[in-house]
Structure 1
Amino acid sequence: MQLILATSNKGKVREIQALCKDFEVIPYSQLMEEFEIVEDGNSFKENALIKARAVFNALKRDDIVVMADDSGISVDVLDGSPGIYSARHAGKDANDKDNLNKLMQDIRAKGATSSPAHYTAAIAIVTKKGEYVVHGWMHGEAINEARGEKGFGYDPMFIPLGYDKTLGELDDDVKKELSHRAKALKLAKIVLQTL
């Protein structure tokens, strides 16, 4: 089955390809010109659906399955921020490093060295048969310093529950077991198999 991803984020594409080996996973940018999708939903679920629908409608094909993920980190000491704004926490054109630095700075500004935090991943699947959304979570602690070079996004500042290393320090095999996206993808695979 061909699975079209409604993302051009290379980190996400790699992670989803690694976790969905039974499917031919392709970013939509291989099939058409990339276009801006306005994510104006109020939740991870709404934004994931907005992305998946936009790509499904743009491709104008009945024989495809489009999958989109919307995910982010919520930090307790920041009242759940950045949440759905994780990808643009440091501004509209911010990259992973800018976002990471801004979030560590925000935690420091609260006078904290760390805070309970969690990642959420919502995965939307859109086909001609219908729309489906599943969720996965990973709980742990956000710290105010970056440790490790692995992963992407906020990984170097997030320590999963039960560990003393950040996702930036942990091996990919360990991260695959813990990841919010991996948990959501396990559920998404069940949906895909029933399709």
Structure 2
Amino acid sequence: MEIILATSNKGKVREIRALFDEESVRPFTEILGPLEIEENGETFAQNALIKARTVFEALGRDDVVVVSDDSGITVPALDNEPGIYSARYAGKEASDRENLEKLVTRLKEMGLHEAPAFYTAAIAVVSPKGEYVVHGWMHGKVVDAPRGEGGFGYDPMFVPEGFDKTLGELDAKVKKRLSHRAKALALARPIIEMLSR
């Protein structure tokens, strides 16, 4: 069984490949090319399943396991923004930098220098043998002054619980241990391995 990732996000591809044999993991774009997927779910789990199902159906093969991730950051003090809209917070074609800048601006508009926040990752697994979804979370706070060049997305403004550095400043090994995606993938891995047999 081949593991196909229902994402073209290079950061996510890199993180997921690091957990598996790189040879057996490919992003769907290497096979199908660009594919428009409308993420119209109301939760991370629904959007992850939409992506995985769409790619699985487009492949039309029964020898693959499709894995997708829908993840983002939630700031309760900002009415739970950006939540499921994290990747398109500043607009549909917004860059990571533009999304981060919008969140910084929203904090400043509310007069906040920092606020509690959490990352959520929903991992969906779709195969001929069934569909599964698992979740992982990472709690901490967001700050209005991004720091560090590591990671991607909102990492330079997120300080994990128990740390005083942002994910953009922390060593990649530390981030991997704390990561919401790593926690979700740890739960998904035995499911993927079972379905790959």
TM-score range for the pair, normalised by the shorter chain length: over 0.9
- Measured after TM superposition, the shift of residue 19 of structure 1 is 2.2
Q: Does 1:169 align with 2:160?
A: no
Counterpart residue type for residue 43 of structure 2:
S
Moved over 6 A (4+): none
- CA distance, structure 2, for counterparts of residue 20 and residue 102 of structure 1: 34
Secondary structure of the 2:86 match is helix
Per the alignment, residue 181 of structure 1 pairs with 181
- Measured after TM superposition, the shift of residue 23 of structure 1 is 6.7
- Measured after TM superposition, the shift of residue 169 of structure 1 is 0.2
Per the alignment, residue 107 of structure 2 pairs with 107
Per the alignment, residue 123 of structure 1 pairs with 123
Secondary structure of the 1:31 match is helix
Secondary structure of the 1:137 match is strand
- CA distance, structure 2, for counterparts of residue 141 and residue 132 of structure 1: 30
Unaligned runs of 5+ residues in structure 1 are: none
Secondary structure of the 2:32 match is coil
Confirm or deny: 8 A CA contact 1:2 1:23 kept in the other structure.
Answer: no
- Measured after TM superposition, the shift of residue 66 of structure 1 is 0.2
- Measured after TM superposition, the shift of residue 32 of structure 1 is 1.2
Aligned residues: 195
Counterpart residue type for residue 84 of structure 1:
I
Per the alignment, residue 44 of structure 1 pairs with 44
Per the alignment, residue 71 of structure 2 pairs with 71
Q: Does 1:35 align with 2:39?
A: no
- CA distance, structure 1, for counterparts of residue 106 and residue 85 of structure 2: 14
Confirm or deny: 8 A CA contact 1:3 1:23 kept in the other structure.
Answer: no
- CA distance, structure 1, for counterparts of residue 167 and residue 21 of structure 2: 22
Per the alignment, residue 12 of structure 1 pairs with 12
Secondary structure of the 2:140 match is strand
What TM-score does the superposition give when structure 1 sets the normalisation length?
0.98
Give the % identical residues.
62
Backbone CA RMSD of aligned residues: 1.0
State which drifts further: 19-28 or 40-49.
19-28
| 1:130-145 matched pairs, under 5 angstroms | 130-145=130-145
